[in-house]
Amino acid sequence: MLKIWGRPNSINVQKVLWTADELALAYDHVPAGREHGQVGEAWFAEMNPNRLVPVIDDDGFVLWESNAIVDYLARQYGKDGFCPTDARQQASARQWMDWATFTLVAAMTPVFWGLVRTPPGQQSDAAAIEKGIAACQAAFRLLDAQLKERAYLLGDSFTLADIPLGCAVYRWHALEVPREELPHLEAWYARLRDRPAYRARVMLPLT
């Protein structure tokens, strides 16, 4: 059986759990990381020497890095268009998945840490938060333009390309930050909220 390690409030673990639920996979979820521990154990380092989550073990096949895991699960178990078979569509999906991680989430990280993870009584970096908000707003304007004439990132159907960005857009809406009116982005976000797996795995309190 598929086994997934990672704390459920991690944006990267949420990608994997959401994907597994969309694919109706049977799996064993083991909370790990931060308050759940386990990542410091020697046996965990044998699976992932980075000592980070998520990690999966699919009948002996161990894999880490969230986008790689989403891509693997989609290719291995996806159907009904969730995983594109055309090489160009596959590349486009990976393009948006990587952009979500290295552009959007990277810009959002100092905002999240400053507003959510800064310990009480400790001063957050206001300049870093402001810079991150501006970078996120620019990224979301780009995403809004991509969604202008399509329901999802790659077209009319929900695919793995929507997973990383879907996790990020919920986090953005859960943060107390100024948000521009971006109608195409909001329509896409509404479509994601209609998905039971999205509500169950992604729409959780920020901690």
The dihedrals phi and psi of 15, each to the nearest 5 degrees, come to: -55, -45
Within the chain, which residues score under 70 in pLDDT?
none
Residue type, 7: R
Residue type, 64: W
Residues of the chain with CATH 3.40.30.10: 2-77
Q: What is the CATH number of domain 87-196?
A: 1.20.1050.10
pLDDT at 72: 98
The dihedrals phi and psi of 5, each to the nearest 5 degrees, come to: -100, 135
Provide the residue count of the chain: 207
pLDDT at 108: 98
pLDDT at 120: 83
The pairing of strands 27-30 and 55-58 is unpaired
Round to whole Å and give the CA distance between 168 and 104.
Answer: 8
Task: Report helix, strand or coil for 85.
Answer: coil
Residue 49 Cα to chain centre, angstroms? 22
CATH architecture of 2-77: 3-Layer(aba) Sandwich (3.40)
pLDDT at 46: 97
**The token pair that represents 159 in the structure block:** 């695919």
Round to whole Å and give the CA distance between 49 and 6.
Answer: 15
Please report where in the chains the tokens 């995983």 appear, as a residue: 83
Residues of the chain with CATH 1.20.1050.10: 87-196
Round to whole Å and give the CA distance between 118 and 101.
Answer: 22
pLDDT at 191: 98
Contact yes or no for 185/140 (Cβ under 8 A): yes
Per DSSP, 147 falls in state: T
pLDDT at 88: 96
pLDDT at 81: 87
Angle at 191 between CA 189 and CA 196, to 5 degrees: 105
pLDDT at 121: 81
Stretch (H or E) spanning 128? helix 126-146
What digits encode the pLDDT tens for the residues 38-82?
A: 999 999 999 999 999 999 999 999 999 999 999 999 999 997 789
Residue type, 58: D
